[in-house]
Structure 1
Amino acid sequence: MSRQLFRKIKEYATHPLRVYSLISKAGFTRFVPDELHIRIMYRVLTGSKINLDDPKTFNEKLNWLKLHDRNPLYNTLVDKLAVKAWVSEKIGDEYVTETYASWSCVEDISIENLPDKFVLKTNHDSGGISICRDKSDFNLAVARKLLAKHLKHNYFWWTREWPYKDVTPMVMAEEYLEDVDGDAGLVDYKVTCFGGKPEFIEVHRGRFGNHTCNYYDIEWNPIRIEWAGIPIADSEVPRPCNLDKMLDLSERLSTGIPQIRCDWYDLGDRLVFGELTLFNGAGFDIIDKDNDLRLGELIDLSLAYGSDGTEALNDC
């Protein structure tokens, strides 16, 4: 038995509730009601009990919104393919990556008519991505195997983020993006908004290597948040060229939604929309206590769809 496998067995034996998370990822806990599942998962992944009767923290409120905010627009927002048309209509198609093709079955994927560089990714989950930087050296068989695995996965059953449940799984081919500083890799700017108001920006660098995340307020002053164990880089990130536009467009995309994150790539001469995230870390990421409470205060639960007898402003 390998030392790594022994450590894993010891870890799950010491904390038996973690077995629940493991079998949940495999789809064996579908019979468990949503609220009970969320309570168990929260305890498993954060080590704390969740208060869903009177939620106060950021994570507690996100999980409350999973159960109670049923805006039908959210099905479109979490679909990485369908959301492109919605974003184009809201702010213009110049901010949206080009989609070359889409398929429901990996056997149908053809790269013959694609450019030399492209990205294949699934529209309905996290991690289903294969990047081609040189078509002559691209292993399509390996990409198909990875993507086929993701097409079979329904993200909803592990996190109970209901908007994902009924998204039709697809693979899409879209344009490959390169940062102005190619050595640093593509920098990911994530603007978290509350009721249509941008509040702070996460800056992720080295996503496929030395992953770091720095946090800034909307004036680009550094702020300290300890989130999900991602290290904060020692060097600060320069203010992006298109910050003002990024904040303005994020505000337009988030109007009427209690909390949502808008992801962007600033390529200098071009600002590109990435995706929208309704439940950061599925509400299960560990955040330092002070910020969990501070950010929780910014979520207005009265904006939940239908909570005051009206429909959310974005549902149109």
Structure 2
Amino acid sequence: MNFDQLPLTAPETPLLERIDSAEREIATLTSAELVALADELREFLLYSVSTTGGHFGAGLGVVELTVALHHVFNTPDDRIVWDVGHQCYPHKVLTGRRHRMSSMRQKSGLSGFPKRSESEFDTFGVGHSSTSISAAMGMALAARQQGINRKVAAVIGDGAITGGMAFEALAHAGHERPNMLLILNDNQMSIGHNTGGLASYFARIWATQTYLTLRETSKKLLEHVKPAWDLAKRTEEHMKGMVAPGTLFEELGWHYIGPLDGHDLPSLVEVLKRVSALSGPQILHIRTIKGKGFTPAEEDPIGYHALGKIEPNKTSKTASPSAP
């Protein structure tokens, strides 16, 4: 469901109210009910954030993922770590804090980031960024040491994963091989251009048309010079392995799954159930749209990264920095 304007009044949310009424009620919902819940959650977020201000686009982009995780995982016994932290607004709504969302980022109110002292569902104090893999790995290794059967997932963005701490944790987890899931939330839209080798790696993956054009041009130039053509073919075969999605993660000892449409809720639920039964470090790569469900935010994801308070009957925004 897409919205062109922000709600004038608080929307009707019967499924959210049902979840509020009973512990782990979300686990009982049917596939159709989960889809309807995601629509309710997105509309509620549009109303809530527009009245308080706060981070906007990131949370809208992970609505389906958040619903799927809380449906499949037995939270708070199972662990979810969000990275970057400001995509946690849907998570807060689904974990007993919906009626406090009007206090977001206010004195004695809800934090705009996961906060351990605020809720047992907030497993790690996360802001900006790249810390989730190390944190989740520590939780998974602790569970293994204690003989606890616990699911642990880290949700990290395509910008946050380019950080050195995240890359170090990828290598460490590949060596330790804890039972954990890393969900790469790839919206191709970190704030500011990513830099470094890993960012270039992702850029090469998606630049398929450029690759094909270069390949055909090179072929025409070199096919009449056999030694040069043989070398080019061997180089191409090597590079194909290097730029295939997941190759880097597989080389680091992870099992790669994806990419998957991060807004296809039934598929997310099915894959999460299957991945949860696997052992060792797993990576699920999903593609999402920042600001999903609110047309102005989809068209201007940078401008709608965060909002100040705005009139709920307007789609125009008041620009705001990414407030903590």
The question of a shared fold, defined as TM-score above 0.5 by the shorter chain, is answered with no
More strand by share: 1
- Structure number with larger C-alpha Rg: 2
Whose relative contact order is higher, 1 or 2, with alpha carbons under 8 Å and at least 6 apart?
A: 2
TM-score by length of 1: 0.27
TM-score by length of 2: 0.26
More helix by share: 2
